[in-house]
């Protein structure tokens, strides 16, 4: 997988997924975000890097829609978002996105293994920290809806 930085959109898998999201009809985009998150969460004992990277990008998209969330400003992010566009984010997606990020950073994640092998797992985790903080939200319940 081509990776050029630790940001959520800075790899081939995320950039490709962002292109698909950008080209999708607006009413389909929330479904694509949810699908990328669910794929990572439901993977078996081992999470391949490609769905892991897509889940990180999807989590960043969700976090950007939350109060205090980090902006989507990467050149590789979906153009409609960098231009100020928005998505209708279902209330359950922040909790799902947080679970997906936890899965990406857990044992059995190829993406985490690749960052660890490169000696930069801490840098990768630090890049995800603002996304995780926005998804967790204020207080123990975060932004999750029941």
Indicate the pTM of the whole model. 0.91
Mean pLDDT for all residues in the chain: 91
Does the pLDDT value for residue 114 go beyond 70? yes
In a domain, 6, yes or no: no
In a domain, 143, yes or no: no
Q: Which domain holds residue 112?
A: 12-136
Q: Write out pLDDT tens, residues 35-62.
A: 999 999 997 889 999 999 999 999 999 9
Q: How many domains in the chain?
A: 1
**Residue 113: CB atoms within 10 Å:** 16
Q: Write out pLDDT tens, residues 66-96.
A: 998 999 989 999 999 999 999 999 999 999 9
In a domain, 71, yes or no: yes
DSSP category for residue 70: P
CB 43 within 8 A of CB 100: no
CA contacts within 13 A on the Cβ side of 96: 23
């Amino acid at each position: 997988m081509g990776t050029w930085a630790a940001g959520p959109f800075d790899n081939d898998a995320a950039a490709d997924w962002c292109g698909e999201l950008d080209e999708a009809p607006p009413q389909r985009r929330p479904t694509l975000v949810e699908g990328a998150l669910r794929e990572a969460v439901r993977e078996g004992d081992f999470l391949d890097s490609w769905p892991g990277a897509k889940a990180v990008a999807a989590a960043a998209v969700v976090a950007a829609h939350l109060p205090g969330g980090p902006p989507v400003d990467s050149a590789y992010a979906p153009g409609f978002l960098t231009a100020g566009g928005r998505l209708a984010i279902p209330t359950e997606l922040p909790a799902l996105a947080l679970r997906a990020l936890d899965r990406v950073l857990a044992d059995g994640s190829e993406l985490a293994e690749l960052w660890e092998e490169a000696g930069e797992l801490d840098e990768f985790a630090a890049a995800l920290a603002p996304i995780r903080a926005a998804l967790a939200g204020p207080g123990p319940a975060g932004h999750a809806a029941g």
